[in-house]
């Protein structure tokens, strides 16, 4: 078992055990959030957009209605089924972060990147900081020149597998604003701000970066 699977396997297992409750709860989320609107405003018309960790496809559906060419990926089978039901005709793939084939071995800044935008709403909170850095490199490889990534990280200090969470057993990692800024060194950061209750409970760090 790789180091990453130590984190992703318990998290995916927790979501599988509580999939029905999670789907019911997420259906109540108001979309679009302010941050999703900021992300969409940074994209060109008809942009090709990947929702990386799309969950049940709420944001995927909204982005599609804006005329973007959307695609989703998630590692929880029940969420993928719900996302496909909600987004007929949209490619929604079942894959884990460590197996999803972003364009590999292609230098950032060339036209061989695949996406004009990559949206990642509270998905990479489930990997530890060292893996998050690798995932950010992977996301950059998947962006077209001038493309934009929109990511949400949890704000705070907690890191580890939860015991009393509404979905116990998930790995969660939170960051300070300064820690988030450090993760994006080398990127062109367009926005980095902390918000509260922007479509979801709690405090979040929103980053728009190229």
Paired residues of 51 in beta bridges: 72, 119
CA distance 151 to 29: 17
pLDDT of 3 > 60? The answer is no
Backbone angles phi and psi of 46, in degrees to 5: 60, 25
Which domains are seen in the chain, by residue range?
A: 3-97+112-209 (3.40.50.150)
pLDDT of 6 > 60? The answer is no
Backbone angles phi and psi of 171, in degrees to 5: -85, 130
Give me the mean pLDDT over the 191-202 stretch: 77
pLDDT of 9 > 90? The answer is no
Name the band, by pLDDT with cuts 50, 70 and 90, for residue 109.
Answer: very low
pLDDT computed for residue 30 by the predictor: 67
Q: Is the pTM of this model over 0.95?
A: no
8 or 115: which leads in pLDDT: 115
89: left (phi over 0), alpha (psi -120 to 50) or beta: left
> Of 146, 139, 160, 119, nearest to 210 (Cα)?
146
Q: pLDDT tens-digit profile of 12-46?
A: 777 777 767 766 776 677 668 899 999 999 999 99
Name the band, by pLDDT with cuts 50, 70 and 90, for residue 158.
Answer: confident
Taking the CB of residue 72, how many other CB atoms lie within 10 A of it? 30
pLDDT computed for residue 1 by the predictor: 40
% the chain with pLDDT above 70: 81
Spatial contact of 116 and 49, defined as CB atoms under 8 Å apart: yes
Give me the mean pLDDT over the 162-170 stretch: 71
**Whole-number mean pLDDT of the chain?**
85
Give me the mean pLDDT over the 120-129 stretch: 91
């Amino acid at each position: 078992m790789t180091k990453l699977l130590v984190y992703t396997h318990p998290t995916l297992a927790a979501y599988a055990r509580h999939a029905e409750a999670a789907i019911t709860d997420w259906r109540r989320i108001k979309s679009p959030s302010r941050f999703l609107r900021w992300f969409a405003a940074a994209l060109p018309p008809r942009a090709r957009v990947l929702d990386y960790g799309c969950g049940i496809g709420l944001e995927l559906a909204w982005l599609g209605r804006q005329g973007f060419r959307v695609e989703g990926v998630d590692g929880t089978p029940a969420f993928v089924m719900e996302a496909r039901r909600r987004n007929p005709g949209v490619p929604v793939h079942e894959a884990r972060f460590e197996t999803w084939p972003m364009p590999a071995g292609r230098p950032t800044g060339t036209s061989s990147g695949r996406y004009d935008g990559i949206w990642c709403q509270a998905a990479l909170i489930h990997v530890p900081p060292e893996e998050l850095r690798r995932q950010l490199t992977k996301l950059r490889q998947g962006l077209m020149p001038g493309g934009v990534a929109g990511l949400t990280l949890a704000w705070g200090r907690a890191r580890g597998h939860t015991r009393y969470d509404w979905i116990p057993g998930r790995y969660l990692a939170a960051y300070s604003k300064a820690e988030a800024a450090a993760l994006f060194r080398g990127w062109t950061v367009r926005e980095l701000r902390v918000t509260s209750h922007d479509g979801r409970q709690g405090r979040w760090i929103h980053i728009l970066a190229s």
